[in-house]
Amino acid sequence: MRPWLGNGLVTGGGAQWQIHRKLITPAFHFKILDTFQEVFSEKAQMLADELTNLADGQFFDFYPLMTHCALDIISETAMGVKINAMKDADSEYVKAIYIVADIVLHRWFRPWLHPNLLFKLSPSGREQQRNIRIVHEFAEKVIAERRERIEKFGKEEMSLDDVLLGKKKRLAFLDLLLQANMERNLLTTQEIREEVDTFMFAGHDTTTASTSWTLFQLGNYPDIQEKVHQELDSIFHGEERPVEPNDIVKMQYLDRVIKETLRFHCVVPFLLRRLTEDIYLDGKLVPAGIQVSIHMYNVHMDPEQYTEPLQFDPDRFLPEVSAKRNPYAYIPFSAGPRNCIGQKFALRNTKTLLATVLRKYKVKSLLKHHEAKYKVDVILKPQNGMKLAFEPRTL
């Protein structure tokens, strides 16, 4: 992934990663997320509108539509630009992201393509280079334009402190990153681009998967879906208005449904970590320097931590129940220093999308819970698309 994402937060390490993480963390302050709520709600409503002509009770593949919606959200919040993927899925930039992601996976499972020289000479290597150039040039163009804007209007307009105090209009992550870097000059233009590319990748695929898998589960459990509908009705009282930050806090049952969904369908299915010291597992030495893979599904299905782990039960995430479990028994966003910096962004985004769609529609799933098949990818995707059916709700 490095030719694409460089040494951004997902792929980087060491002292450089620590500098980047410290510089970027303030951009995920909850008050910053509040300013993004308008984008979440606007795109969620567009998604609900797109479903109007599809909500006839017939099954269709929901996944591509959700992917385009998530791309629209992340492009506007990360870069401050509209790519209109829901309306123009054939845009060069959107297609390039899909192609690069597919080639990364293609190379991953073909060891003979791992050496850089052989890969660059292969057809897929040349195709990847062409599309990475499109992605990088687009990001670099946006960075240049946003930097020029800061220089033109003065950094006062782009103040992070003012945004936190509610004095300034919404800024994209890129604006906040450029502003923070102007004060400390720690990142090169390439490093800023690598973080923007990382946001674009990590911020759209994950939201697509979490939203789609939650709808899949609700489509399998009408009783649980009804409880979600009741909660949303108690919050919105039938009003057709955007989801606001205060509404998000009230969606406690939906929050538990999402958490239980991520226990079964963890968006990032495994983590890789390199050991910095010797450890013993079941009396066996695992030496420092070894890279280990932590499989989330195995962790999340531990019967010692979860009673009847194969049963879908959102109430296992009631605060008093969760408090009894080991804190590392549930790690959909990883844990420790390298946990997901965007987890609050992701959960708020997912809740807004689900709340907007479920206020208008009922959902059914073609496949039963136990019939779900997965596509091996960087994230956990459905093997043959996400076949869902929607019908309008009557309040």
The token duo for 306 is 């979860």
The secondary element (H helix, E strand) that includes residue 84 is: none
* Count of CB atoms situated within 10 Å of the CB of 251: 22
The amino acid at residue 114 is H
The helix or strand, by DSSP H or E, that contains position 338, with its residue range, turns out to be none
Give the residue among 224, 234, 222 at the shortest CA–CA distance from 259.
Answer: 224
Handedness of CA 46, 48, 49, 53 (dihedral sign): positive
State the Cα–Cα distance between residues 149 and 382, nearest whole angstrom: 41
Radius of gyration of the chain (CA): 21
The annotation status of 69 as a binding-site residue, yes or no, is no
Listed residue (201, 188, 186, 158) closest to 27, CA to CA = 158
Place of tokens 């963390």: 25
Can you list the alpha helix ranges (DSSP code H) found in the chain?
2-5, 14-24, 30-50, 63-74, 92-108, 116-121, 123-153, 160-164, 173-184, 189-220, 222-236, 245-250, 252-264, 296-300, 319-322, 343-360
As a whole number of angstroms, the distance between CA 65 and CA 390 comes to 14
Cβ pair 387, 63 in contact under 8 A: no
Q: How far apart are CA 67 and CA 65, in angstroms?
A: 5
Give 26's contacts (C-beta < 8 A, 6+ positions apart). 32, 160, 176, 180
Say which DSSP state 171 is in. -
Known binding-site residues equal 340
Binding site membership for heme: which residues? Answer: 340
